[in-house]
Structure 1
Amino acid sequence: MAEDGQQQPPDGDPGTRRGPASQQDMRRQNLALVMRTVAAAHPLSRADVAGRTGLTRTAVSSLVDELIGGGLLLEGELERSGRVGRPGRALVLNGDGPAGLGLEIGVEHLSACVLDLRGEVRVELHRPAANAARSAGQTLAELAELADRAEREAVALGLRVVGRVLAVPGSVPLGSPANQVEHAPNLGWHQVDVTELWPGPGTAPAVENEANLGALAELWQGTGSGTFVHISAGEGIGGALVLDGRLFRGVQGFAGELGHLTVRPDGRPCSCGARGCLEPYAGLAAVLRSAGFTDELDELDGLDGPDRFDGLDESDRLDRSERSDGSSGAPGATSLTGRQNGDPIAELVRRAEQGDPATRRALRHAGTALGTALAAAVNLVDPDSLVLGGGYADLAQWLLPAMRTELAALIRVRPWPEEALRASPLGRRGPVLGAALVTVRSLHSDPAGLWLAETA
Structure 2
Amino acid sequence: MQTGTVNPRAAHLSLALRHVADSADGISRAGIAARTGLNRSTASSLIDELINGGLVKETGSYKGAPRAGRPGTALALRDDGPAGLGIDVNVDYTAVCVVDLTGALRYKHVLAEDQRGLSTREILDRIARLARGAQQAADADGLTLCGSAVAVPGIVDRAHTKVTLAPNLGWRDLDVNEVLPAGLHGTPALLDNEANYAALSESALLRRRASYLFVSGQIGVGSGIVLDGALYRGAHGWSGEIGHLPVDRDGPPCSCGRRGCLERYAGQEAILRAAGMTENAGTTFGVRPTVAMLADRARDGCPATLQALTRAGQILGYTLAACLNLLDLTHVVLGGIYRELAPWMAPPIERELATQFLGAAWSRPTVQVSTYGPEAPAMGAARSVIHDVLTNPSRWLNLHPVRPSAPPRSGR
With normalisation by structure 2, the TM-score equals 0.87
Q: Using the alignment, how far apart are the partners of 2:329 and 2:44 within structure 1? A: 42
Change over 3 Å in CA distance of 1:295–1:430 after alignment to 2: closer
Partner of 1:431: 377
Partner of 1:317: none
- Indicate if the aligned counterparts of 1:375 and 1:410 stay in contact, CA closer than 8 A: yes
Change over 3 Å in CA distance of 1:243–1:222 after alignment to 2: closer
Q: What amino acid is aligned across from residue 226 of structure 2 in structure 1?
A: V
Partner of 1:10: none
Partner of 2:404: none
Change over 3 Å in CA distance of 1:359–1:222 after alignment to 2: farther
Q: Using the alignment, how far apart are the partners of 1:36 and 1:123 within structure 2? A: 24
Residues 51-450 of structure 1 aligned to structure 2 (within 5 Å): 51-79=34-62, 84-173=68-157, 175=159, 177-178=160-161, 180-195=162-177, 197-198=178-179, 200-202=181-183, 205-218=189-202, 225-294=209-278, 322-324=287-289, 344-412=290-358, 415=361, 417-450=363-396
- Indicate if the aligned counterparts of 2:82 and 2:146 stay in contact, CA closer than 8 A: yes
Aligned residues: 391
Q: Using the alignment, how far apart are the partners of 2:53 and 2:97 within structure 1? A: 23
Q: Using the alignment, how far apart are the partners of 1:124 and 1:427 within structure 2? A: 11
Alpha-carbon shift at residue 215 of structure 1 (Å): 1.5
Q: What amino acid is aligned across from residue 74 of structure 1 in structure 2?
A: K
Shift >6 Å, 4+ stretches: 220-224
Q: Using the alignment, how far apart are the partners of 1:358 and 1:109 within structure 2? A: 26
Q: Does 82-91 or 58-67 show the bigger shift?
A: 82-91
Alpha-carbon shift at residue 441 of structure 1 (Å): 1.2
Alpha-carbon shift at residue 366 of structure 1 (Å): 0.6
- Indicate if the aligned counterparts of 2:158 and 2:192 stay in contact, CA closer than 8 A: no
- Indicate if the aligned counterparts of 2:280 and 2:287 stay in contact, CA closer than 8 A: no
Partner SS state of residue 202, structure 2 = helix
- Indicate if the aligned counterparts of 1:106 and 1:168 stay in contact, CA closer than 8 A: yes
- Indicate if the aligned counterparts of 1:169 and 1:210 stay in contact, CA closer than 8 A: yes
Structure 1 unaligned residues grouped into runs of 5+: 1-17, 298-319, 325-343
Q: What amino acid is aligned across from residue 124 of structure 2 in structure 1?
A: L
Partner SS state of residue 131, structure 1 = coil
Q: Using the alignment, how far apart are the partners of 1:128 and 1:278 within structure 2? A: 24
Q: What amino acid is aligned across from residue 390 of structure 2 in structure 1?
A: H
Q: What amino acid is aligned across from residue 435 of structure 1 in structure 2?
A: A
Q: What amino acid is aligned across from residue 123 of structure 1 in structure 2?
A: Y
Structure 2 unaligned residues grouped into runs of 5+: 402-412
Q: What amino acid is aligned across from residue 396 of structure 1 in structure 2?
A: A
- Indicate if the aligned counterparts of 2:248 and 2:261 stay in contact, CA closer than 8 A: yes
Change over 3 Å in CA distance of 1:116–1:254 after alignment to 2: same
- Indicate if the aligned counterparts of 1:263 and 1:372 stay in contact, CA closer than 8 A: no
- Indicate if the aligned counterparts of 2:190 and 2:385 stay in contact, CA closer than 8 A: no
C-alpha RMSD of matched pairs (Å): 2.6
With normalisation by structure 1, the TM-score equals 0.79
Q: Using the alignment, how far apart are the partners of 1:152 and 1:112 within structure 2? A: 12
Alpha-carbon shift at residue 435 of structure 1 (Å): 0.6
- Indicate if the aligned counterparts of 1:222 and 1:424 stay in contact, CA closer than 8 A: no
Q: What amino acid is aligned across from residue 43 of structure 2 in structure 1?
A: V
Change over 3 Å in CA distance of 1:348–1:225 after alignment to 2: farther
Partner SS state of residue 190, structure 1 = strand
- Indicate if the aligned counterparts of 2:216 and 2:335 stay in contact, CA closer than 8 A: yes
Partner SS state of residue 428, structure 1 = coil
- Indicate if the aligned counterparts of 1:32 and 1:444 stay in contact, CA closer than 8 A: yes
Change over 3 Å in CA distance of 1:383–1:78 after alignment to 2: closer
Q: What amino acid is aligned across from residue 56 of structure 2 in structure 1?
A: L
